[in-house]
Structure 1
């Protein structure tokens, strides 16, 4: 047991020495640590001062940087706003310009269509005018040819007229000679007919035969001029004319079978007094220069008025 206590005392002493060493070592370490901490604090203080100095300079630099960045950002915002405004104005202008261009395009399209239609119409008119010009050219050439031919014919006709004029003058001379000869033979010329009066009084049929023997017939009077000429030329001599109603009473006809249309009866004539079926002119009881006809019996004795037509 004493051995055990001795061992415990030894152990306790060893342990106490170790604890003293440990405490000593701990104090030494604490001093070291304390020294290190002081050094560390001094170093930290120095670093803090350096950092504070650096931070002070850095804050000023950052402040200047922030201000510059803010100014730049503001300028960028102003520029951006200006750019947006300018772009908006340009956009509006472009929109208006687009609308105007669209309207101009529409108007130009309409004008183009109108011009195309006008061009088509003008082309048709041009072709028609070209055709008309061609036709007119052909007609002009034909007219020119006709004009040339007519000029030749005119010259020929002019020559013929000259010749005919000369022949006419010659014929007039010969006609006058013939008329003078006819007057000698008792014939008178008027309006393409020769008139003569028989020298022997006879009945209506006998006077007609006398006229026919001369190549004539009893006169047919168709106009006032002819009636006046006969009365003037033959001095209202009572003479038979080629008018009778012997076939049908009241229906007077000329010797050529034509109906009576122009009449120069003395008032009251014809009256068919005593079967009067033949007509004469120069009625002795007439006081008119024109109305000198009367009906008489066909056997009445009078000269005959002959007419020869040409």
Structure 2
């Protein structure tokens, strides 16, 4: 029995020791919780400090942003320059177009003038000359004045071919030509001042032209009342006849 009592006492003491150890563990745990530094926990909620790799990434990002901004500026500059270039070219094209239109207008005006001049010369052309044959009659001086108003002068016959041409277009009708000896008797000169060396005076039937002396100082192609005498006649300058004007065609065809 005494052994049983002893065993019970031993168990009770063991239980007490276990209770004491548990109490000590609890207090130590409590002290441990009370003394714990919550700064570490708090710090976990703070932003992480940048590492070396993070700094490099930030610098690359900033560089990329700067490059993008510069690229946008360059692109904007290029667009502005392009618009300026286009505007300048448009201005040049407009100026060239206006110059072309002016040239066309001038050519049209010159063409109209040429058509007009061709019309007043009755569209008769031989070699390098226009010819205008009047439908009315005037004396030699008035006939020449009319030619000059047209930018021409009385006809100058230079060779046989031209004389044959005149004979054909006048059809044996008297027309004034640009030949006179009014300045000096028997010295026949053309209206350009050149002296006649050989002409196509009428001859035959005891007639030898020129024969009028001081009274007949201007020349015509025929005498209508004496058509069988083919060739020039000297007549009085005050008589009224038709006339032929001549103008060189060269100014109209040379550049």
TM-score by length of 1: 0.39
Name which structure has the greater RCO, CA cutoff 8 Å, separation 6+.
2
Q: Which has the larger radius of gyration?
A: 1
TM-score by length of 2: 0.48
- Hey, which of these two has a bigger chunk of helix by percent? 1
